[in-house]
Structure 1
Amino acid sequence: MPLNTIEELLSDFRQGKIVILMDDEDRENEGDLIMASSLARSEDINFMVTFGRGLMCQTMTREHCEQLNLPLMVNESGALHGTKFTISIDGAPAHGVTTGISAMDRAATIQVAARADAKPSDIVQPGHIFPLMAEPGGVLTRAGHTEAGCDLARLAGLEPTAVIVEILNEDGTMARRPDLEKFAAQHGLKIGTIADLIQYRMTNEKTVERAGECEVTNDYGCFRMYAYRDTIDGNMHLALVMGEIDPDTPALVRVHMADFLCDITGCRRPDCGWPLSDVLRRIANEGAGVVLILRRDEGGEDLIERIQRYQKQDEGVQITHREGGANLRTHGLGAQILVDLGVRRMRVLSAPKKMSGISGFGLEVVEYVT
């Protein structure tokens, strides 16, 4: 069946209707029932729980979570896609919520928590609704249902919070696209994709902007250097381009997370990833390519902690290595920069990995080069 446009989904969202949104096949490859939190009724909640069968969550912006004093469930998420669960909630008894589990109670909790003037005393913890904290920048920084829910509500002119429930088949397995299309037809629901939502936003919005450019020459040759400013957190990121970029020709691309210790000292610890010098050499040998150097938040205390961890490893202490590579937010940032540079098809300098949501930016990985 043909998918609906984002405009059609937004029209239903404004009317308080439930829609289905699918993510990429290169990500979770699932579909969620989604509706605006501020318009959720008990009958809507009952439908989503009965027919969706997944976990009921409420997406919120970081600012709204802070307004409600909602702490993250864990400081460091071990979830595959970095979903940020906060402590679960119920509406406070003053709002008529009793056990918290009925469809009526859950609808009341969701509506109370969605109010622009909601305060911590309006909710109690723990409860039966699971808030999810969205990344600033929405689907342009993380291509997940959490961000999509907030984006759809905001674009519909409503409070930027949504109710989401994963759709499972009757046998308990995850519903994939053919199942989701049948589900949408059976229940008369609009269905679209996060990739289309990304493209919809990309026509009007970006979360990075080009700040300057110049020629640079280093030990590996002559590059064009571009500086980009992250409009969400103010961080600066760099792109080094050798040769000409042709949208029709796959470009050799490497996304490098800036690492003070490893880049400056040439350290080859397991958490250093590919040395920047090796990446530049590969690009130079190819004669053309793009290196994105994305800055990550790492303060002085973080550096000291790493050095102390290295010291313990040198002394024979077994310490679990924590990956320091690109996360889902950096995928969105990097994708926007690559598109701005004119890249469309890529040969990625990396071991094969999932690049979540990049199809929504009009990017295609044709090969991984190791």
Structure 2
Amino acid sequence: MSIGTIKEALEHLRLGRPIIVVDDEARENEGDIVLSAQLATPEWVGWTIRHSSGYLCAPMTAERARALELPPMVQDNEDPKRTAYTVSVDASSGITTGIGASDRSRTLRTLADPLATPSSLIRPGHILPLIGVPGGLTERPGHTEASIELMNLAGLEPVAVIGEVVGDDGELLRLPQLLEFGAQNNVPVITIKALIEELDSEHPSGGAASPRPSVVADQRVIFEVETRVPTEHGVFDLRAYRDRATGADHIAIVSGTPHDGMLVRL
């Protein structure tokens, strides 16, 4: 099996099926199973538990974590990759012990539910939310940011499920083994490098998000977070910005690729 395409991966995600995302050899050099939390089912969560370390995380935006009142797990993050864990959670209703595939899929769907509130969750639990950095893959090319970007590209709620793929011996699988595993299970394998190239592409047909604005030290208005919203008029990127001088928040509704120097009224 060869490396899959981003288009193929997005089709699987929209069907609630898993994909495998591989990062750079110089980074963690691992493959993560990635699912949509919005479409999580006991079947596929159970499959993910069986073929991974069983340590399931739920990448999401900082905005989503704030809405659900999910504070960082620790105040001083000593992780070399700066993985941003929050407190662990379970759904506050509809579960038993919280550890089974049915319970974990319920918790994952709750995390992705736009109507969920902080009281929809209990703390601690058996799912570990992760917060993606505001700049996405341009700032941190990790599985957390990659999975959030993939949910946006697929038009799904930007909350994912990830777990590292391991073999029967419990050790991480590397790319040749991951390709073999993907072929055996009909699961597309893509790379973060290819995803970044897709996002940077200027071809609308590729489904890529438009390039992120850069942030410089003396900018008054800074970019904070972004989400993709499908509508009957097309797919739009909603970008949130904060005015450093006044503290005011602004939202830009973007279609296509804006040119440099475009004027915006605040």
User: What is the match of residue 145 of structure 2?
Assistant: 147
CA distance change for structure 1 residues 75 and 144 in 2, over 3 Å: closer, same or farther?
A: same
Q: Specify the SS of the correspondent of 2:122.
A: strand
CA deviations on 1:75-105 (whole Å, 9 max, x unpaired) are 2211121100000000002xx1121011101
Which whole-Å CA distance do the structure 2 matches of 1:230 and 1:136 have between them? 14
Which whole-Å CA distance do the structure 1 matches of 2:75 and 2:197 have between them? 32
Q: Specify the SS of the correspondent of 1:47.
A: helix
CA distance change for structure 1 residues 98 and 174 in 2, over 3 Å: closer, same or farther?
A: same
Assess if the C-alpha contact under 8 Å between 2:135 and 2:224 holds in 1.
Answer: no
User: What is the match of residue 286 of structure 1?
Assistant: none
CA deviations on 1:323-345 (whole Å, 9 max, x unpaired) are xxxxxxxxxxxxxxxxxxxxxxx
Q: Specify the SS of the correspondent of 2:189.
A: strand
User: What is the match of residue 232 of structure 1?
Assistant: 223
> What is the total number of aligned residue pairs between the two structures?
218
User: What is the match of residue 197 of structure 1?
Assistant: 195
Q: Specify the SS of the correspondent of 2:24.
A: coil
> Which ranges of structure 2 fall in alignment gaps of 5 or more residues?
203-209, 226-266
Q: Does 1:208 align with 2:206?
A: no
Amino acid at match of 2:75: N
Q: Does 1:61 align with 2:52?
A: no
Amino acid at match of 1:208: P
User: What is the match of residue 136 of structure 2?
Assistant: 138
The CA deviation at 1:129 is: 0.4
> Which ranges of structure 1 fall in alignment gaps of 5 or more residues?
212-226, 235-370
Percent identity at matched positions? Answer: 40
Which whole-Å CA distance do the structure 2 matches of 1:25 and 1:108 have between them? 34
Which whole-Å CA distance do the structure 2 matches of 1:128 and 1:157 have between them? 27
User: What is the match of residue 76 of structure 2?
Assistant: 76
User: What is the match of residue 32 of structure 2?
Assistant: 32
Amino acid at match of 2:65: C
Assess if the C-alpha contact under 8 Å between 1:207 and 1:231 holds in 2.
Answer: no
Which whole-Å CA distance do the structure 2 matches of 1:86 and 1:59 have between them? 10
> 1:49-198 to 2 correspondence within 5 Å?
49-93=49-93, 96-198=94-196
Higher RCO structure, 1 or 2 (CA under 8 Å, sep 6+): 2
Which whole-Å CA distance do the structure 2 matches of 1:66 and 1:210 have between them? 22
Amino acid at match of 1:44: W
Amino acid at match of 1:174: L
User: What is the match of residue 8 of structure 1?
Assistant: 8
Which whole-Å CA distance do the structure 2 matches of 1:60 and 1:89 have between them? 14
Q: Specify the SS of the correspondent of 1:110.
A: helix
Assess if the C-alpha contact under 8 Å between 2:19 and 2:33 holds in 1.
Answer: yes
CA distance change for structure 1 residues 33 and 7 in 2, over 3 Å: closer, same or farther?
A: same
- Quick check: which has more Rg, 1 or 2? 1
Which whole-Å CA distance do the structure 2 matches of 1:25 and 1:35 have between them? 22
The CA deviation at 1:137 is: 2.6
The CA deviation at 1:228 is: 8.4
Superposed structure 1 runs of 4+ greater than 3 Å apart: 208-211, 227-231
CA distance change for structure 1 residues 231 and 121 in 2, over 3 Å: closer, same or farther?
A: same
Q: Specify the SS of the correspondent of 1:232.
A: strand
Which whole-Å CA distance do the structure 1 matches of 2:76 and 2:52 have between them? 28
Assess if the C-alpha contact under 8 Å between 2:37 and 2:159 holds in 1.
Answer: yes
The CA deviation at 1:206 is: 2.5
Structure 1 length normalisation: TM-score? 0.56
> 1:238-253 to 2 correspondence within 5 Å?
none
Q: Specify the SS of the correspondent of 2:55.
A: strand
Assess if the C-alpha contact under 8 Å between 1:208 and 1:230 holds in 2.
Answer: no
CA deviations on 1:205-245 (whole Å, 9 max, x unpaired) are 3223499xxxxxxxxxxxxxxx98985259xxxxxxxxxxx
Amino acid at match of 2:35: M
Q: Specify the SS of the correspondent of 1:192.
A: strand
Assess if the C-alpha contact under 8 Å between 1:73 and 1:86 holds in 2.
Answer: yes
Assess if the C-alpha contact under 8 Å between 1:54 and 1:168 holds in 2.
Answer: no
Amino acid at match of 1:81: K
Q: Specify the SS of the correspondent of 2:76.
A: coil
Which whole-Å CA distance do the structure 1 matches of 2:12 and 2:3 have between them? 14
